[in-house]
Structure 1
């Protein structure tokens, strides 16, 4: 996860082109100022894939797929820009219509063969890009179209996190699919209703160094943190029946007044499993990453509307009941956004930080419109997301799953951890939970 970009898999051949906004800005180049949360996320990247069967994409050429990008980028003008650094050292985006990159790739396997070999992995289906070392020539977004031997298609998005969070990335590629289907793009995007972080009375003002992030050192001008160990990624699919079994057999069978979501229960289960694997070194400090979903609106301008909270407990996660960990996640997390903003602004936006994986990080994406991407009215047969640039403590993404045969949704759990820990977690989840 922390390595520099690797070019293409030997199974594929690729061609790269550029798409710019349909309406040139000419001399109207403007600067898009990055806020503190954008700058916190500068070393992270959001990657997602959407795989469609051949029936969904019949007769669609690469030209058909690229055409919706032109009007889409009229809305997302800063997405076509390039990062610059001011004399003060603070980064911003110059809206200069430099464009996003389109990658056309061909794979000599069928969709079925690919999935049999790679399961839910994004590797090879998303262009592996990072910003730098020459920021003036580093695109902020890559969209990769991979044609399979059977006629199926994968749409892979690589999105620099400074542009916005995963909700924003998903909305961007969903808007592309809407325009592809013939819908007119909205006339404008709405600025989100994001409130300024407030100082919380339950925060320890005498010890206001945030623990949900850590400082990073970038190497060779690449905006990517080097890891101390190899961080691998694996996705677990939990069906709706498995979710119900998890809830009813363990947590809901015990009396509690907590209004639980699947996110809290899944996070507690995985937190406990990882703590048991690590033994006495199990995580007593974790980061919970959420968003105020009620403030998110349709046709929203991309933003990093995240809430980063810490949980610092004296309990031993490997020993306590899962319900106790659920209570910690629901009741005891402390919002660190105020001190994070203060830290970034005091450094004038020049410092580099790791957020995902600075501590073991749980990211709630349950309410994301993950399957809004449709081609010819058809949903993808598989969709997945992971984060690039994850620190050594790892990250857990809780995503909605596709509908099961009974019409209910399970969950996709994408986990990035050091390889040995991830291998042990796979065995433990299979043995203890049948996942």
Structure 2
């Protein structure tokens, strides 16, 4: 029996109308993400301010700062490429109301990954994109008055950090506080330099690779590593300058690869890294759009966990601003060509543990008890998302969401090496 019931659909517009004729353009990197979507779910326990009426009111308020979210896609015939732009016309975002007849704790303890994905609804594009909302907000109420807030959008509009910053701005508006990271709508900040040097060997190989074979059925599971678990991983590694991301990403890379044909050996991981703060003139935290840099990390997996973690750490630390600009300029040079798969088809890891997603308090002290991130269209070998863990689990705590072929997800959930560190496993009950 289906536990999640949609009870209504509507549209929410901004409280303040947008200036007539306003548009929002996409960067070449935005266009490159057109095959993917972003889905974030924030879980809140019952609170006096956690009501649909108050949430919808504050949503309308915060949308006044985000005209690109409430607009619709149109073709820009004047640029010679016919690329998509956003016509900021106050059409609003799609809103979905849903209910679950179990408590929040019961849901978190028993839900499958398919049920969790039902909490972040996003409609497929209609035949006329001008009628379609690229953003969707879903409110799912639980039996005990708790609520899940799902935010979904096209990846072309925004990357996970942009969505997380929007959620923080919404929570600020909900508390009637100042928005700590206001949106920064200046796509030119990520456009080619005056003397571009377009180069991206990694993306060039991805763009020319033959189409992957039909992907098997995919499923997800969530691992919550407490601070003590991560500390134990770091102690077992016993290497300097290794971060929680390095140790967990390398662990999952090794264990996932050990079950694939051929086992361990030379391999490459496709890494996606938010580079807002990596620039010599850092982009504001509220930069709206995509600021992910994709690059490859090569390692001989047969050389062991320490070698793999060290290689990952070396590549992360050695990333230079020139690498980012050259990649952006390479994408801009081929913007008329068909988009290819950025997440995959090889195993991909999204480094997203630098974003404080648990700071989205709807009231003082009322923060989410769990946050999950999914990326749509990550087919192929799979995706590993490393993000911040719940505050109650400690500073070094991390949440790791894996999306893999279903049979492989089942093996990873039962892997003795991973289970040695006693992660809490969620949303894997259907495997």
TM-score using structure 2 length: 0.84
Report deviation, 1:19: 1.3
Report deviation, 1:338: 5.2
Report deviation, 1:152: 1.1
Report deviation, 1:94: 1.6
Residue-by-residue CA offset, 1:175-203 (whole Å, 9 max, x unaligned): 111111112457963357658589889x7
Q: Report SS of the residue matched to 2:357.
A: coil
In the alignment, the residues of structure 2 paired with residue 187 and residue 423 of structure 1 have an alpha-carbon distance, to the nearest angstrom, of: 39
Report deviation, 1:395: 1.0
In the alignment, the residues of structure 2 paired with residue 347 and residue 187 of structure 1 have an alpha-carbon distance, to the nearest angstrom, of: 32
Report deviation, 1:246: 0.6
In structure 2, the residue matched to 1:19 is 12
Distance change >3 Å, CA 176–CA 216, structure 1 → 2 = farther
2:368 alignment partner, one of 380, 389, 392: 380
Instruction: Tell me if the contact between 1:103 and 1:143 (Cα under 8 Å) persists in the aligned partners.
Output: yes
Task: State yes or no: 1:242 paired with 2:229.
Answer: yes
In the alignment, the residues of structure 1 paired with residue 250 and residue 196 of structure 2 have an alpha-carbon distance, to the nearest angstrom, of: 27
Per mean C-alpha deviation after superposition, the further-off stretch among 321-330 and 289-298 is 289-298
In the alignment, the residues of structure 2 paired with residue 237 and residue 96 of structure 1 have an alpha-carbon distance, to the nearest angstrom, of: 41
In structure 1, the residue matched to 2:357 is 370
Q: How does 1:108-187 map to 2 (within 5 A)?
A: 108-118=101-111, 122-185=116-179
In structure 2, runs of 5+ residues without a counterpart are: 424-431
Distance change >3 Å, CA 275–CA 200, structure 1 → 2 = farther
Residue-by-residue CA offset, 1:286-334 (whole Å, 9 max, x unaligned): 2111123532435x23121111111245x2x1x1121211222132477
In the alignment, the residues of structure 2 paired with residue 73 and residue 237 of structure 1 have an alpha-carbon distance, to the nearest angstrom, of: 32
Per mean C-alpha deviation after superposition, the further-off stretch among 344-353 and 167-176 is 344-353
In the alignment, the residues of structure 2 paired with residue 194 and residue 86 of structure 1 have an alpha-carbon distance, to the nearest angstrom, of: 19
Residue-by-residue CA offset, 1:409-433 (whole Å, 9 max, x unaligned): 4110001111112111222244554
In the alignment, the residues of structure 1 paired with residue 420 and residue 181 of structure 2 have an alpha-carbon distance, to the nearest angstrom, of: 51
Residue-by-residue CA offset, 1:139-179 (whole Å, 9 max, x unaligned): 11111111111111111111221122111100101111111
In the alignment, the residues of structure 2 paired with residue 284 and residue 124 of structure 1 have an alpha-carbon distance, to the nearest angstrom, of: 34
In structure 1, the residue matched to 2:293 is 307
Q: How does 1:273-312 map to 2 (within 5 A)?
A: 273-280=255-262, 284-294=267-277, 295-298=282-285, 300-312=286-298
Q: Report SS of the residue matched to 1:323.
A: helix
Q: How does 1:281-430 map to 2 (within 5 A)?
A: 284-294=267-277, 295-298=282-285, 300-313=286-299, 315=300, 317=301, 319-332=302-315, 337=324, 340-377=327-364, 378-404=366-392, 407-428=394-415, 429-430=417-418
Instruction: Tell me if the contact between 2:28 and 2:328 (Cα under 8 Å) persists in the aligned partners.
Output: yes
Task: State yes or no: 1:105 paired with 2:88.
Answer: no
Distance change >3 Å, CA 210–CA 337, structure 1 → 2 = farther
Distance change >3 Å, CA 209–CA 154, structure 1 → 2 = closer
1:81 alignment partner, one of 71, 87, 107: 71
Count of paired positions: 405
In the alignment, the residues of structure 2 paired with residue 104 and residue 210 of structure 1 have an alpha-carbon distance, to the nearest angstrom, of: 43
In the alignment, the residues of structure 2 paired with residue 343 and residue 200 of structure 1 have an alpha-carbon distance, to the nearest angstrom, of: 8
Distance change >3 Å, CA 409–CA 348, structure 1 → 2 = closer
Task: State yes or no: 1:31 paired with 2:23.
Answer: yes
In the alignment, the residues of structure 2 paired with residue 186 and residue 284 of structure 1 have an alpha-carbon distance, to the nearest angstrom, of: 41
Per mean C-alpha deviation after superposition, the further-off stretch among 371-380 and 237-246 is 371-380
Q: Report SS of the residue matched to 1:170.
A: helix
Report deviation, 1:396: 0.7
Distance change >3 Å, CA 72–CA 404, structure 1 → 2 = closer
TM-score using structure 1 length: 0.83
In structure 2, the residue matched to 1:40 is 32
Instruction: Tell me if the contact between 1:44 and 1:389 (Cα under 8 Å) persists in the aligned partners.
Output: yes
Runs of 4+ aligned structure 1 residues displaced above 4 Å come to 184-188, 191-201, 212-217, 332-340, 429-433
Report deviation, 1:96: 1.6
In structure 2, the residue matched to 1:222 is none
Distance change >3 Å, CA 268–CA 129, structure 1 → 2 = same
Instruction: Tell me if the contact between 1:89 and 1:348 (Cα under 8 Å) persists in the aligned partners.
Output: no
More helix by share: 2
Q: How does 1:49-64 map to 2 (within 5 A)?
A: 49-54=41-46, 56=47, 58=48, 60-64=50-54
Report deviation, 1:31: 2.5
Report deviation, 1:13: 3.0
Task: State yes or no: 1:232 paired with 2:225.
Answer: no
Distance change >3 Å, CA 67–CA 103, structure 1 → 2 = same
